[in-house]
């Protein structure tokens, strides 16, 4: 069995913000092709491409209207085929997004389903009658705000949508729907993709009795910005039938050699438990949740999150990330000063954890969250909940390739989101010339990770933490690494290693003499211990 995905580092590319070759202000597949040398030079093993399929772009491609075609914004199918071929020549795997829980309301199946209760696709989506007073069938809410039910006058019924009203949920209880979606997955397998990132993988099935969700067991000191989180999504998502479908999905993947899958777990109550459940017994290969993508950054939280996942759980596998296209960039989220030291610390930490790390484009530059004005927004949640929730546009602004070029080298046309001066300061061309830059540090650590088997497959054991210093070992039968990460700005002195033979493997912002280790604020040290 080839478990390449366990040792891989995945690099997420948001195509519309990577590099524009067509001159329309939107990145495209040819842009990824043109930057393949840069990607290869980073030292990553796989690319995860966010959606590039045909879509009305109400949710920037996560509303798919045709699953087996490339949206003209991003190019042609020939471009995708060329990208797969070129990536493979550079020993890079291609993982693509699959948004199976819902489609666009412009998908031909929904257009047919909404038109007539007697149509062939009538039961392909989730339909329900209104209550006697005309209100929705139950209390389910949308992640993007408001009721999760939208009235359709053509049918005289409500349809269910976990996200935008223009993103109706498929009815996975209908096996025809499952067969159709698995057929769309097979299409991309035949195109040579190496795996799939499954969007909202725990949202596929709903409770057929349409029971009301209970209130959340969490004690909120003040109401959340979005009332969705006041509910425990007991019946709208996370149904046991999901597991049977994932078994079918895995059987399809296993019929092709060396494929992988990553599931996105969106749940605010039992995410780690679902990650475990979904990645054992031949279902998903790995899964990630938003546990390490949130606001909390502390030694105790990181330790408890990983220990909880791996506790009596050797068959499941996680994918960890600190940033992605849905959350504020972690350098801004966790460090008020957005320092280079912090960017280096977090890169080393993520790449040292047991599990598969996923980097988000621009993370290797220490890129910060872009501050946007309301008039510059495109993201529906940001527009709806501004200014308390500014949405996801701030982490989706274009890559900055050259500070001195128009739009930082991203496009010759006005970009779909603005490129600000602050982000230009982190441009690739500046960092490539600086030996001590964040970009070159990422390259150095990625190279180190490939060479150190302890970081690839070593067992992980946490040591007692103190004052927000995270300590753990990565150990194989042949060797052992001790990793110390100072997650705060205070200096810490470690004298307990005086009697050990120490070989420093890599460090940042530290002093080491006479086997005394002094780690400054946001510093770290990894060393072998005999």
* pLDDT tens, residue by residue, 351-373: 999 999 999 999 999 999 999 99
Burial of 436 (0-12, 13-18, 19+ CB in 10 A): exposed
Cα dihedral sign, 284-352-439-366: positive
CB 96 within 8 A of CB 188: yes
Active site residue 267: no
- Going by pLDDT thresholds of 50, 70 and 90, the confidence category of residue 285 is very high
In a domain, residue 141? The reply is: no
Instruction: Quote the domain boundaries for residue 500.
Output: 458-529
- Going by pLDDT thresholds of 50, 70 and 90, the confidence category of residue 529 is confident
**Per-residue DSSP letter, 530:** -
pLDDT for position 389: 95
In a domain, residue 332? The reply is: yes
Which of residues 416, 449, 482 is at a domain's end?
Answer: 449
Residue 433, pLDDT > 60, answer yes
Shared-domain flag, residues 393 and 494: no
Structural domains of the chain, count: 2
Shared-domain flag, residues 399 and 465: no
Average pLDDT of the residues in 301-306: 97
pLDDT for position 502: 82
Active site residue 199: yes
Shared-domain flag, residues 319 and 357: yes
In a domain, residue 339? The reply is: yes
Shared-domain flag, residues 289 and 216: yes
End-to-end distance of the chain based on CA atoms, in angstroms? Answer: 32
CB 293 within 8 A of CB 360: no
In a domain, residue 506? The reply is: yes
In a domain, residue 224? The reply is: yes
Shared-domain flag, residues 503 and 419: no
Shared-domain flag, residues 350 and 209: yes
What stretches of 294-437 show up as alpha helix (H) in DSSP? 299-310, 330-334, 340-350, 380-385, 421-424, 428-432
Shared-domain flag, residues 28 and 63: yes
In a domain, residue 147? The reply is: no
Average pLDDT of the residues in 41-47: 98
**Which residue in 28, 152, 264, 363 is the catalytic one?**
264
Between strands 502-513 and 516-529, the pairing is antiparallel
Distances 76 to 81, 83, 109, 410 between C-alpha atoms, Å: 9, 11, 23, 20
Shared-domain flag, residues 330 and 415: yes
Percent of residues, the chain, with pLDDT higher than 70: 99
pLDDT for position 1: 57
In a domain, residue 116? The reply is: no
How do residues 119-139 score in pLDDT, each as one tens digit?
A: 999 999 999 999 999 999 999
Residues 30 and 43: their CA atoms lie apart, in Å, by: 20
In a domain, residue 186? The reply is: yes
Shared-domain flag, residues 395 and 501: no
CB 52 within 8 A of CB 74: yes
> Prior bond to 387 cis, omega within 30?
yes
Shared-domain flag, residues 212 and 302: yes
How does the average pLDDT of the chain come out, rounded?
A: 96
**Which residue in 199, 328, 338, 363 is the catalytic one?**
199
CATH value at residue 504:
2.60.40.1180
- Going by pLDDT thresholds of 50, 70 and 90, the confidence category of residue 498 is low
- Going by pLDDT thresholds of 50, 70 and 90, the confidence category of residue 2 is confident
Residue 267, pLDDT > 90, answer no
CB 226 within 8 A of CB 145: yes
Considering only CA atoms, which of 425, 455, 430 is closest in space to residue 527? 455
Which of residues 426, 449, 472 is at a domain's end?
Answer: 449
Average pLDDT of the residues in 84-100: 98
How do residues 130-171 score in pLDDT, each as one tens digit?
A: 999 999 999 999 999 999 999 999 999 999 999 999 999 999
Considering only CA atoms, which of 50, 153, 129, 128 is closest in space to residue 96? 50
Residues 366 and 346: their CA atoms lie apart, in Å, by: 10
**Per-residue DSSP letter, 131:** P
Residue 40, pLDDT > 60, answer yes
Residue 303, pLDDT > 70, answer yes
CATH value at residue 191:
3.20.20.80
Residues 308 and 63: their CA atoms lie apart, in Å, by: 34
Which of residues 421, 449, 477 is at a domain's end?
Answer: 449
């Amino acid at each position: 069995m080839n478990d390449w995905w366990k040792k891989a580092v995945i690099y997420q590319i948001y195509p519309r913000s990577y590099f524009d070759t067509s001159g329309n202000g939107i990145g495209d597949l040819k842009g990824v092709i043109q930057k393949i040398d840069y990607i290869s030079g980073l030292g990553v093993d796989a690319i995860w491409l966010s959606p590039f399929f045909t879509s009305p772009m109400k949710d920037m491609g996560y509303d798919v209207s045709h699953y087996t075609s490339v949206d003209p914004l991003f190019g042609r199918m020939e471009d995708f085929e060329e990208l797969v071929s070129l990536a493979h020549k550079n020993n890079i795997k291609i993982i693509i997004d699959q948004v199976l829980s819902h489609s666009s309301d412009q998908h031909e199946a929904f257009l047919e389903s909404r038109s007539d209760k007697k149509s062939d696709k009538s039961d392909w989506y989730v339909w329900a009658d209104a209550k006697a007073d005309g209100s929705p069938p139950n209390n389910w809410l949308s992640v993007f705000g408001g009721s999760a039910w939208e009235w359709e006058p053509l049918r005289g019924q409500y349809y269910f949508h976990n996200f935008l009203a223009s993103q109706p949920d498929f009815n996975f209880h209908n096996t025809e729907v499952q067969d159709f979606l698995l057929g769309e997955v097979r299409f991309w397998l035949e195109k040579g993709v190496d795996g799939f990132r499954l969007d909202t993988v725990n949202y596929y099935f709903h409770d057929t009795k349409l029971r009301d969700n209970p209130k959340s067991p969490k004690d909120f000191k003040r109401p959340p910005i979005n009332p969705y989180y006041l509910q425990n999504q007991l019946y709208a998502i996370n149904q046991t039938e999901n597991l049977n479908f994932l078994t079918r999905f895995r059987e399809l993947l296993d019929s092709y050699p060396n494929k992988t899958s990553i599931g996105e777990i969106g749940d605010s109550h039992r995410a780690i438990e679902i990650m475990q459940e979904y990645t054992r017994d031949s279902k998903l290969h790995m899964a990630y949740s938003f546990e390490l993508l949130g606001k909390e950054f502390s030694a105790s939280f990181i330790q408890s999150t990983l220990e909880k996942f791996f506790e009596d759980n050797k068959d499941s596998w996680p994918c960890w990330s600190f940033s992605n296209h849905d959350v504020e960039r972690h350098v801004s989220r966790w460090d008020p000063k957005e320092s280079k030291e912090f960017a280096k610390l977090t890169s080393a930490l993520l790449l040292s954890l047991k599990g598969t790390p996923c980097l988000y484009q621009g993370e290797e530059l220490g890129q910060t969250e872009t501050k946007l004005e309301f008039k510059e927004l495109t993201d529906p949640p940001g527009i709806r909940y501004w200014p308390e929730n500014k949405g996801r546009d701030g982490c989706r602004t274009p890559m900055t390739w050259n500070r001195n070029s128009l739009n930082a080298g991203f496009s010759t046309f006005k970009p779909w989101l603005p490129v600000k001066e602050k982000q230009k300061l982190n441009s690739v061309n500046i960092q490539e010339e600086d030996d001590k830059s964040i970009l070159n540090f990422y390259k150095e650590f990625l190279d180190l990770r490939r060479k150190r088997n302890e970081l690839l497959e070593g067992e992980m054991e946490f040591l007692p933490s103190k004052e927000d210093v995270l300590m753990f070992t990565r150990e194989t039968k042949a060797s052992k690494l001790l990793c110390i990460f100072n997650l705060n700005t205070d200096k810490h002195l470690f004298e307990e290693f005086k009697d050990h033979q120490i070989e420093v493997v890599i460090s940042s912002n530290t002093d080491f003499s006479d086997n005394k280790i002094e780690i400054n604020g946001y510093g770290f040290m990894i060393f072998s211990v005999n």
